[in-house]
Amino acid sequence: MREATASRPAVFRFHLLGVPPMKAALLRYLPLLLLALAWEVGARTGLVSTLALPPLSTVAAAWIELLKDGELITNGAASLWRAGAGLFLSIVIGAALGIVMAWWRPVNVLLSPLVEMFYPMPKSALIPVTVLWLGFGNGSKILLIFLGCMLPVTLGAFNGARSSEQVLVWSARSMGANRLRMLWDVVVPSAMPELLNGIRTALALSFILLVSSELIAAREGLGYLIGFLGASGTYDAMFAVVLTVALLGFIADRIYLVLMQRMLRWQA
Amino acid sequence: MAGVADDVPGGPLAELAGEPLPPAYRWLRTAGWGVARVFSILALAVAWEVAARSGAFTPYMLPSLSAVLERIWTDLIHGELLLNTGVTLYRALTGFLIGAVVGIVLGMAISRNALANWFFDPIISVGFPMPKIAFLPVVILWLGVYDLSKITMISVEAIFPVVTATIIGIRGVERELLWSARNMGAGERELLWQIALPAALPQIITGLQVALPIALIVAIVTEMFMGGYGLGGAMNTASRFADSRGVFAGIVEIAVVGYALVKIMSLVRRRLLLWHQEAVAPSTV
């Protein structure tokens, strides 16, 4: 189970070849810069129609414009609040559910058929129902993200808690720990690595569901802004928001990764 | 793998500790757990029906299960259900297959070729955690609103888990395997196709198992966004016309399709990995 956390493919290690760190980072991310350059040149030289692909510099200007008139901030705040609230609920309830399922057999027997049934369901199917129940606002997005992200967390917690080493459980018991103490001191920590991986999946899923639901049915939020700008034909601004959303997803994942490594530091 | 789930009164551990239970009792208990499994699904169905009929919810908010099933039956008779399911499956599976092939080939290239590694590694490590669905309007702008844009979006989302899994899988191949193959005179090409790829297969299939549900999620979203045929398109139409039975019927249909695909995929896994030691281990949920 540890391999999944250490699963980043090895990269070209320029810094091991005696290249200074700044230069190494530059060399490593050079392909992305090259892509950006190709974008700019392709659009400027007319190789690609500027209607289909506005030059990167124009997109950057549009981004600053969106930032100045506050569109990006208000819609971004709405989106982040929805994703954050939905994800928070799914982590708290999903983790508790998974650990209880691993800990108490009757709960497992009752709930695991339901988990098995709903886990493979494409969660985007819930978008129209959440709208039907809660309308176009925050509630429907938060409910959707909560429902969509809960099961990966539950499954991570369940698998993690189930795989806690029997020897640890036995020795804790022989040292006189009661069931509740054992749950907290043995089962929960050993569930951590898998649980944290499940949460990472949920984090990625939350962004997908957020953007999808805002594209399809919303009156504010970054996804809505993308759809609105696209429909009105201001493609440079649309590209700016698309890149913002993509970047936010990336940054959220990286921050989470750092937190996760910190939380698992006690592991050898 | 003995787990905490078994460490409860009446669990397998109790048998280990105390005297063995008589076989009849054991059989009865197994049957009991089996009934309990079906029970929870039935209980959910009954709860849905009762809640809908109790009048606590309007039929618009929660149509009864029987009404929804009736609706699915009508869709089936009129042929709409098969058509929409077929269209959605065609898009999702085509996108998935393109993503799988491109992903595996790219993953192999990245793990064998330094230049490919240098170029693609940052793109993949930055692109994987991005919500690529945000590019949907861009893809529509470039490729239109028909199958091409939908399938493109699906394969773009499906590529990333497959590439990453392939790289991890090939990198994790035991050195002894590679050494002994090389020792026996295998060339680079044989090494890749006959040693590294089969040895990495469990990881690669795991990547495919991640990509398949994503492909279906994205297929539904693109259909909802663009309308037209397909299960997502049908739900879109139903919700526009405030036809909540149609919406709920869509959820049930999509859930069944998703369940079937995931089950088929795990059967494929078992079939392809018959030779692997994981075939004997029990599968998790």
DSSP-derived secondary structure for A120-153: TS-GGGGHHHHHHHHTTSHHHHHHHHHHHHHHHH
Asked whether residue A3 is assigned to any structural domain, the reply reads no
Domain that holds residue A121: 69-263
Give the pLDDT confidence score for residue A47 in this predicted structure: 84
Q: What is the pLDDT of residues B47-97, one digit of tens each?
A: 999 999 998 888 888 999 999 999 999 999 999 999 999 999 999 999 999
- Global pTM reads 0.84
A201 in Cβ contact with B161 (< 8 Å): no
Give the pLDDT confidence score for residue B281 in this predicted structure: 55
Nearest of A184, A202, A191, A218 to residue A88 by alpha carbon: A202
Q: How confident is the model at residue B182 (pLDDT cuts 50, 70, 90)?
A: confident
A204 in Cβ contact with B131 (< 8 Å): yes
Interchain CB distance below 8 Å, B164 and A32? no
B window 6-45, beta carbon within 8 A of A:
6-8, 10-11, 33, 36-41, 44
- As a whole number of angstroms, the distance between CA B3 and CA A108 comes to 13
Q: What is the pLDDT of residues A55-107, one digit of tens each?
A: 999 999 999 999 999 999 999 999 999 999 999 999 999 999 999 998 888 88
Nearest of B41, B72, B16 to residue B238 by alpha carbon: B72
- As a whole number of angstroms, the distance between CA B244 and CA B249 comes to 8
Rounded to a whole number of angstroms, the distance from the CA of B73 to the nearest CA of chain A is 19
Backbone φ, ψ for residue A86 (5° rounding): -65, -45
A window 43-82, beta carbon within 8 A of B:
52
Q: State the amino acid at position A167 in one-letter form.
A: V
pLDDT above 80 for B34 = no
Higher pLDDT among residues B278 and A145, named by residue = A145
B162 in Cβ contact with B265 (< 8 Å): no
* Residue B166 CA: distances (Å) to CA of B104, B199, B207, B278: 6, 11, 7, 18
User: Which helix (DSSP H) or strand (DSSP E) does residue B177 occupy?
Assistant: helix B175-183
Interface check for B104 against chain A (CB to CB < 8 A): the answer is no
Share above pLDDT 90 across residues of chain A, in percent, rounded to a whole number: 55
Interchain CB distance below 8 Å, B247 and A129? yes
Write down the ipTM of this complex.
0.84
* Residue A24 CA: distances (Å) to CA of A27, B19, B61: 5, 65, 57
Interface check for A122 against chain B (CB to CB < 8 A): the answer is yes
Give the pLDDT confidence score for residue A1 in this predicted structure: 34
Q: Domain total for chain A? A: 1
Angle, helices B231-240/B197-226, rounded to nearest 10 degrees = 30
Q: What is the pLDDT of residues B199-242, one digit of tens each?
A: 899 999 999 999 999 999 999 999 999 988 999 999 999 988 88
Report the CATH superfamily, name and number, of domain B66-279.
MetI-like (1.10.3720.10)
Interchain CB distance below 8 Å, B167 and A9? yes
pLDDT above 60 for B2 = no
Burial class (CB in 10 A: 0-12, 13-18, 19+), A138: middle
- As a whole number of angstroms, the distance between CA B64 and CA B54 comes to 10
Give the pLDDT confidence score for residue A22 in this predicted structure: 81
For the segment B129-142, the average pLDDT, to the nearest whole number, is 91
Higher pLDDT among residues A244 and B40, named by residue = A244
Give the pLDDT confidence score for residue B48 in this predicted structure: 93
- CATH code at position A94: 1.10.3720.10
For the segment A244-257, the average pLDDT, to the nearest whole number, is 93
- As a whole number of angstroms, the distance between CA B51 and CA B44 comes to 10
Token code pair at residue A133: 């129940």
Interface check for A233 against chain B (CB to CB < 8 A): the answer is no
Q: How confident is the model at residue A49 (pLDDT cuts 50, 70, 90)?
A: confident
Nearest of A250, A226, A239 to residue A76 by alpha carbon: A226
What are the residue ranges of helices labelled H in chain A? 21-44, 56-68, 71-103, 105-118, 127-134, 138-162, 166-174, 179-182, 188-216, 222-231, 235-263
Least confident range from A3-7, A181-185, B14-18, B106-110: namely: A3-7
pLDDT above 70 for A202 = yes
B window 203-232, beta carbon within 8 A of A:
213, 216-221, 224-225, 231-232
Interface check for A9 against chain B (CB to CB < 8 A): the answer is yes
A209 in Cβ contact with A149 (< 8 Å): yes
pLDDT above 80 for A268 = no
Token code pair at residue A52: 């289909």
- As a whole number of angstroms, the distance between CA A129 and CA A144 comes to 9
- DSSP for B121-135? HHHHHHHTTS-GGGG
Q: What angle do CA B236, B132, A206 make, to 5 degrees?
A: 70
Q: How confident is the model at residue B278 (pLDDT cuts 50, 70, 90)?
A: low
For the segment A193-220, the average pLDDT, to the nearest whole number, is 92
Q: How confident is the model at residue B13 (pLDDT cuts 50, 70, 90)?
A: very low
